[in-house]
Amino acid sequence: MQKKQRLKYLFQILISLVIAIILVLHLDIRDFIRHLSRISLPVLGVILIFLLPSLLVRAYRWKFLFNDHVHRIKLHESLILLLVGVAFNLALPATSGDIIKSYFGYRWFGVKERMLSISLLDKVIALASIAILGIPIALYQGNLLYGYLSTLVLLPGTILLALPWLSKNVSVFRRLFQAATNILRRKLDFLSVVDEISVRKEKVIYALAISVLGWALTYFQMYLCFRSINVDMSLPYVFAVAPLLTLIRLFPLTLSGIGSDEAALCYFFQQAGASMEEILASALLYRFFVLILPGLIGLCLLAGIKRTRHNRTTE
């Protein structure tokens, strides 16, 4: 199994390298460096200012979904889990770190099945909300194809939210979840995971509204990355293609979306009039400030928490 995982990991690295090499071969290096050299420091400051609110909104969404009359978690604890998930996203495909963080949530706070189910629910609500943000703008701009394709990000949420009903009313699904539990020797109760996904409709709607705000802040930072090198990019267009950019990140073919993200950005934003050099310069800034920087903070927090717990157990 470990050999299979290593081969899969190497394959993802290879795909990322191939795409990156293809992009570099078509890149005017001097023009690319020229764009990076004229970065506006005040705009970078604004990007950093918006980073914390965008992270806090996402952390609050997870906290809001998790907390009920039995389970409670604080905002700063949810923020730590979010940053740990972002840290794992640096090395894992399809933003799966957002789900894997539930393991550390269980180790730190307990409640194994609820941690996993809320992380899954949080993920699909995030996908649905980016569609809510982008589809109306795409249709208003006349980008009908973008709008129609963006509906694909609604599918995971529709399927996941239907699972509690299927589990209760369709015996085949109950037996399937029970079999999965037995396969894992009851280390994880899949029926409990599915039951925990069931939340009130009002709570889902509110979480969607929170998430739309979070995505607006995140993709506003992408817009600012274009503005920081003086590229006149339309903010509504950034929002219109946001669902498709998010959807592409879900395909587990590359390591942390490296290469595939940049190729997708080139495809969409060249149609908006930006050059390849401008797009990749902006993409580099976006990846560092919105993805890598929070991930590095998450790694530091993860190491610090592990060290603290290790010291406590050895005292």
Closest CA relative to residue 93, chosen from 249, 247, 243: 249
Q: Which of the 8 DSSP states describes residue 64?
A: H
Instruction: Return d(Cα 197, Cα 166) in angstroms, integer.
Output: 12
Q: How far apart are CA 250 and CA 170, in angstroms?
A: 29
One-letter amino acid for residue 172 of the chain: V
- Residue 307: its pLDDT value, please? 54
Listed range (11-15, 39-43, 95-99) with the worst mean pLDDT: 95-99
| 118, two tokens | 């809320």
| Whether the Cβ atoms of residue 18 and residue 259 lie closer than 8 Å to each other | yes
Secondary structure (3-state) at 28? coil
- Residue 82: the pLDDT is 92
- Quick one: angle between helices 41-66 and 112-140, nearest 10? 130
> How do residues 206-259 score in pLDDT, each as one tens digit?
999 999 999 999 999 999 999 999 999 999 999 999 999 998 887 777 877 888
Q: What is the mean pLDDT of residues 91-110?
A: 77
In angstroms, rounded to a whole number, what is the distance separating the alpha carbons of residues 237 and 219?
10
pLDDT digits (tens, 9 = 90+) for 128-170: 899 999 999 999 999 899 999 888 888 877 787 788 878 888 8
Residue-level pLDDT at 249: 83
Contact 254, 19 (CB under 8 A): yes
Per DSSP, the chain holds a count of helices (H) and strands (E) of 15, 0
